[in-house]
Amino acid sequence: MSDFGGLMLETNLIGGDWVGADSGKAIPVNNPATGEIIGHVPDCGAAETDRAIAAASAAFKNWSRTDLNYRVGLLHKLHDALLQNQEALAQLLTAEQGKPLFEARGEIAIGAAYVRWFAEEIRRAKGEIVPSPTADRRLLVTRHPVGVVGAITPWNFPSSMLARKLAPALAAGCTVVAKPATATPYSGLVWGKLCQDVGFPDGVVNILTGSARAIGGAIMASPDVRKVTFTGSTEVGKALIRQSADTVKKVSMELGGNAPFIVFDDADLDAAVAGAMVAKYRNMGQTCVCTNRFYVQSGIHDAFVKRLAEATEALVVGNGAQDGVQQGPMIDMNAVEKVEAMIADAIGKGASVVTGGQRHGNGGTYFQPTVLTGATSEMSFATDEIFGPLSAVFKFETEEEAIAAANATEYGLASYAYTNDLARVFRLNEGLHYGMIGINAGLITTVEAPFGGVKESGIGKEGGSQGLDDYLETKYMAVAGLG
Ligand code: ADP
């Protein structure tokens, strides 16, 4: 079995040492494209997590006081190491996660870009000198690293989701205890190796695999962990917010979405279809910003559906490691069954399948990319996240109706609209209750802009200048008696 150029680590990083679980137990990791077990990772729990937190706390004392230039230099080296290993890292990512190689290469590249962005952005993390109401005082506002950060990441972007958390934390002078998702641990563990290779001190980055409840529980319970950053389901995010109360931690939460993709009659049809394909089918529909609901105005509806169905049918489904494949397998059988249940529910309520609708002939967790029309607000995907390659198309008549339908969800992460009406663009900006809006764009994630949701989609932002804020504490100091 390949070890992906030494980048597939089967131990955990605690205080600079690569170790197994205390129990000696390990968890198998499979390749969703083949069903093969590709390796095992430690099944760690609370005791190992407590040691990692202790190591991170000890390391914080020095790390938080290092020269900014030193931290920035290490981050630039980390950026370069990621890109030097991009191909092997992408292959490892595809092997454990299933996404096509071209997407995996892109994920490594954007992860590296986050590292570089925060290396640059930390230089602008300025404080303030505030005018004092009296002549004998000076008022200073300074910014400081929050402390030890707990980072819990999901399986759909196992590399770049950690990048968005590690990079600002390390830039700010925080130390980290990270827990990657059990389904895709290798793309997380390798960050530990690369950090070590480029010279990050022991204890600054610690990475554990194993029971989510045990590791998550220890992170949440520890008074030494001052901030928790989580990407995953809204359900788990809510549980973590509750658990954070006892120690009053800062939290940032990137949770679920229910993205609307609105196509108006005046849209450029070619651009709308191209945007729809990327907004829907990237990572087999398994991203929190993937379109969940297409709302298409009646004048363009039939033409859009025809073109979307043709493009959907043309997608090449297969093992993501093979050249030319555009759609890999889904992450696991639960994901397949959820999509199947949603399709059955919709058909039962009057929807029609235009293309796909069934498990793919490849077997395993492959699923046919699917387009359904006649979607209504009674169907399960109107309110629940699909997280699969299913395009559900709703028809609408007026802009007001589309905006109201788009907002009729507790989520508020990404939204998309295709239109050439400038005044409407600004009505959408004000009317759509979403943290992110793509106008005539189906892919909007970029390191320079704040990624994050409103409502039950989350708290805090990742990327942009805002992405540093959660890792910095503000202190106010009054200096009195200056005469
Ligand atoms: P997803 O469906 O994207 O896997 P989850 O919310 O289930 O979303 O998982 C996201 C991350 O949260 C994973 O690393 C998972 O192991 C972790 N996780 C799941 N349940 C808990 C929990 N109770 N406490 C802490 N972390 C958890």
Bridge partners (DSSP) listed for residue 291: 259
Distances (CA, A) of 289 to 415, 451, 452: 8, 10, 10
How much distance in Å is there from the Cα of 196 to the middle of ligand 1?
A: 26
Is 236 touching ligand 1 by the criterion CB < 6 Å? yes
Can you tell me the distance from the alpha carbon of 304 to that of 64, in angstroms, rounded to the nearest whole number? 54
Is the shortest distance between the CB of 267 and ligand 1 below 6 Å?
no
Residue 205: helix, strand or coil by DSSP? strand
Phi, psi angle pair for 293, to nearest 5°: -140, 120
Give the separation between CA 455 and CA 229, rounded to whole angstroms. Answer: 17
- Going from the Cα of 232 to the center of ligand 1, the distance in angstroms, rounded, reads 6
Phi, psi of 71 (to 5 degrees): -65, -45
Measure the CA–CA gap between 347 and 194, rounded to whole angstroms.
Answer: 49
The residue to which tokens 């058909």 are assigned: 347
- As a whole number of angstroms, the distance between CA 440 and CA 461 comes to 23
Active site residue 174: no
User: Model pTM?
Assistant: 0.97
Q: How far is CA 425 from each of CA 136, 262, 275, 296, rounded to the nearest angstrom?
A: 51, 12, 17, 16
Give the span between the Cα atoms of 429 and 370, in whole angstroms.
Answer: 30
Distance CA 122, CA 164 (A): 14
Can you tell me the distance from the alpha carbon of 410 to that of 394, in angstroms, rounded to the nearest whole number? Answer: 19
Rounded distance between C-alpha atoms, residue 195 and residue 217, angstroms: 26
Cα(160)–Cα(167) distance, integer angstroms: 10
Buried b / exposed e across 43-73, counting CB within 10 Å, b at 16+? bbbbebbbbbbbbbbebbeebbeeeeeebbe
User: For residue 129, what are the contacts with CB-CB under 8 A and spacing of at least 6?
Assistant: 138, 139, 140, 141
Q: What is the radius of gyration, based on Cα positions, of the chain? A: 23
Look at the block and give the residue holding tokens 């025809």: 306
Single out the catalytic residue among 44, 288, 456, 462: 288
Active site residue 128: no
CA 73 to chain centre: 26
* Vertex 303 angle, CA 300 and 309, to 5°: 130
Q: How do strand 37-42 and strand 26-30 relate by DSSP bridges?
A: antiparallel
Pairing of strands 259-263, 414-418: parallel
Which one-letter amino acid corresponds to residue 167? A
The residue whose CA has the least distance to atom 21 of ligand 1 is 212
- Note whether 27 and 209 are within 8 A (CB): yes
The DSSP bridge partners found for residue 437 are 415
- The per-residue pLDDT string of the chain (483 residues; one tens digit each, 9 = 90 and over) reads 578 999 999 999 999 999 999 999 999 999 999 999 999 999 999 999 999 999 999 999 999 999 999 999 999 999 999 999 999 999 999 999 999 999 999 999 999 999 999 999 999 999 999 999 999 999 999 999 999 999 999 999 999 999 999 999 999 999 999 999 999 999 999 999 999 999 999 999 999 999 999 999 999 999 999 999 999 999 999 999 999 999 999 999 999 999 999 999 999 999 999 999 999 999 999 999 999 999 999 999 999 999 999 999 999 999 999 999 999 999 999 999 999 999 999 999 999 999 999 999 999 999 999 999 999 999 999 999 999 999 999 999 999 999 999 999 999 999 999 999 999 999 999 999 999 999 999 999 999 999 999 999 999 999 999 999 999 999 999 999 998
DSSP 8-state secondary structure symbol assigned to residue 455: G
Region of residue 264 (phi > 0: left; psi between -120 and 50: alpha; otherwise: beta): beta
- DSSP for residue 462: B
> Could you tell me which of 85, 82, 148, 158 has the C-alpha nearest to residue 119?
82
* Residue closest by Cα to atom 19 of ligand 1: 212
Find out whether the beta carbon of 287 lies less than 6 Å from any atom of ligand 1: no
Would you tell me the crossing angle of helices 68-84 and 86-97 to the nearest 10 degrees? Answer: 70
Q: Is 49 in the pocket of ligand 1 (CB under 6 A)?
A: no
Specify whether the CB–CB gap between 385 and 256 falls below 8 A. yes
The CA distance from 274 to 270, in Å, is 6
Q: Measured from the CB, is residue 285 less than 6 Å from ligand 1?
A: no
Contacting residues for 24 by C-beta, under 8 A, at least 6 apart: none
Helix axis angle, 68-84 relative to 160-172, nearest 10°?
A: 160
- Helix (H) / strand (E) containing 253: strand 250-254
